Amino acid sequence: MEVDTEQGTVLGLRRNGVSTFRDIPYAAAPVGPARFEAPAEHASWRGVRDATGFGPTAPQAPRVLGTMDLRAYFGDGWHRGEDYLTVNIWTPDPHADALPVMVFVHGGGFVAGSGRTELYDGSAFARDGVVFVTVNYRLGIPGFLDVPGAPANRGLLDVVAALRWVRANIARFGGDPDDVTVFGQSAGATIVGGILATPEAEGLFRRAGVQSGNGLGAFSTEQASRVTRAAAQVLGIEPTARAFSEIPDDRLVETASQLAGIDLRTATRTDPLMGLSPFSLVLDVQPADSAVAAVDLLIGTNAEEGNLYLVPVGRYAGSTGADVDDVAARAHPDPARLVRTYREQRPAAGDPEIRAAILGDALFGAGTQALLEARTRHSGAATFVYEFAWRSPALDGELGATHTVELPFVFGRTALPALRGPNRMLGEGEPPASLAALVHDSWVRFAREGDPGWPARTAERRTTMRFDLESGPVDDLRVAEHEVWRRRTPRR
């Protein structure tokens, strides 16, 4: 099956009622100096480009997190090749007229991931009448290092370029360019939050989704410059775009892996990523504090986000009060008040649960709350809030409702073998089929109708959809915890 794009013709596959087109360039290959420039238009090609198989990924090291097997999320590492600024498309019918479109931005701590992994197969969305798109973007040093002489946030600029390509071409795949939902998870969700505050992206999408992102997750230029100086020191070069552009990709990947542990706390800012990644968006005004696009928003977190960063690396069960105090001190200007609030609101919780709860909110919860509060102030846009609370039995039941566990439900991929097993995200046993259907259908409804199936959040009605064995809308029960984050020192 062939489709003509603005750059040339692509050949896809038709199987089981879904047409798939993979590895379609939306921007020129980022090679040499172009790795540190804004994305440029891809040249046209003659003949038919084979789009039946996945292509290369952004340069990256394998993503490992203790005892967890996360290959379903991140694949098996770097698939080499220069032309990796590409999209993959699943469509029920390229000849259809004006189907809703969903564009997914993957996570991976700004250093890993791609749109080609098993989990991100968009067939379930296509079978439900959605044209589904995944995006590859620059990662690590080429994507997010703040380099003098280069535009900032090049990975985000890549996603905006992909959205621009989608607007120009998606009708040829059966999609409606005026009915695009862009959504992302983790780092991808933080990027989507940044796109909401990016004027150049205005008009490129109608709705947005932020799954476990952070509207307060951007580094200031002062914080980012520390990472840049450290990278330049490791490489023995001057911290300039020209100097970095002369370093081969292998060395840049190796250097990125050596930058963990940089102290990014300043007089006015904590490290929004708590030391987990030296890369993020670089903005002196956080997305949650910016004028953001008035589009409908689906936003939420998981009930036990922080478990993923403690349980697989053996730092959960033995947590002490000192560990709780330490994570609070790194996350908040008034750590004693923070800890006191969490202990008062969770009287039955021990130190492991309190430590993980504070870490999860520092990474995702507080920034999500700040972004959704900013959104609810837009009278013309609806904001739908969720919490995913189903507990995975993986790692002897300690993993729980952790970071990323909702994605197999969103994608309709809970049956994927790579997700099953004692050290894989869904554990052993059978995840609830009714919950998987409900979550996936809610995302499809949001893309198709702008209504996922529960009331929108307003200043007067703080409704949250809680996904669990028994799902339903509830009132926000974490007002005190949200308040202690909201009332900290200014974020600018």
Average pLDDT estimate for 204-229: 97
In a domain, 345, yes or no: no
Average pLDDT over the chain reads 95
Answer yes or no: is pLDDT of 487 > 70: no
Model pLDDT for residues 105-151, shown as the tens digit of each residue: 999 999 999 999 999 999 999 999 999 999 999 999 999 999 999 99
Q: Determine the pLDDT at residue 379.
A: 60
What percent of the chain lies above the pLDDT cut of 90? 91
Strand partners, 299: 210, 385
| CA distances for 449 relative to 90, 179, 240, 444, angstroms | 20, 10, 47, 8
Q: Determine the pLDDT at residue 291.
A: 65
In a domain, 353, yes or no: no
Matching residue, tokens 């998987």:
436
Q: Read off the tokens for 295.
A: 């589009």
Answer yes or no: is pLDDT of 39 > 50: yes
Between 74-78, 108-112, 290-294, 435-439, the lowest mean confidence (pLDDT) is in 290-294
Dihedral angle of Cα 321, 322, 325, 327, to the nearest 10 degrees: -110
CA 246 – CA 259 distance, rounded (Å): 19
Give the residue numbers annotated as catalytic, written as ranges.
186, 305, 403
Q: Which residues contact 31 (CB under 8 A, 6 or more apart)?
A: 82
> In the structure, what pLDDT confidence band is assigned to residue 10 with cuts at 50, 70 and 90?
very high
Answer yes or no: is pLDDT of 345 > 90: yes
Q: Determine the pLDDT at residue 488.
A: 58
Answer yes or no: is pLDDT of 299 > 90: yes
CA 126 – CA 397 distance, rounded (Å): 33
Q: Determine the pLDDT at residue 491.
A: 42
Q: Which residues contact 349 (CB under 8 A, 6 or more apart)?
A: 342, 343, 357
Q: Read off the tokens for 102.
A: 């969903």
> In the structure, what pLDDT confidence band is assigned to residue 152 with cuts at 50, 70 and 90?
very high
In a domain, 87, yes or no: yes
Average pLDDT estimate for 262-287: 93
> In the structure, what pLDDT confidence band is assigned to residue 492 with cuts at 50, 70 and 90?
very low
Average pLDDT estimate for 330-344: 96
**Number of structural domains the chain divides into:** 1
Neighbours of 261 (CB within 10 A): 8
In a domain, 86, yes or no: yes
Give the single-character DSSP code of 310. T
What percent of the chain lies above the pLDDT cut of 70? 98
In a domain, 341, yes or no: no
Answer yes or no: is pLDDT of 485 > 60: yes
Q: Determine the pLDDT at residue 386.
A: 98
In a domain, 359, yes or no: no
Q: Determine the pLDDT at residue 437.
A: 98
3-state SS assignment for residue 327: helix
Query: Which H or E run includes 474?
Result: strand 472-475
Between 99-108, 130-139, 378-387, 455-464, the lowest mean confidence (pLDDT) is in 378-387
Q: Where are the alpha helices (DSSP H) in 76-149?
A: 123-127, 140-144
Give the single-character DSSP code of 273. T
CA 470 – CA 162 distance, rounded (Å): 38
| Per-residue H/E/C for 85-103 | CEEEEEECCCCCCCEEEEE
Break the chain down into helix, strand, coil percent, rounded to 5: 35, 15, 50
Q: Which residues contact 271 (CB under 8 A, 6 or more apart)?
A: 223, 263, 264, 265, 330
In a domain, 283, yes or no: yes
In a domain, 361, yes or no: no
Answer yes or no: is pLDDT of 490 > 60: no
Answer yes or no: is pLDDT of 426 > 60: yes
Matching residue, tokens 């800890």:
339
Average pLDDT estimate for 64-82: 94
Answer yes or no: is pLDDT of 62 > 60: yes
> In the structure, what pLDDT confidence band is assigned to residue 489 with cuts at 50, 70 and 90?
very low
3-state SS assignment for residue 167: helix
Tell me the CATH number at 479.
Answer: 3.40.50.1820
Q: Note the Cα 86 to chain centre separation in Å.
A: 17
CA 161 – CA 456 distance, rounded (Å): 30
Domain that holds residue 305: 2-239+242-317+367-486
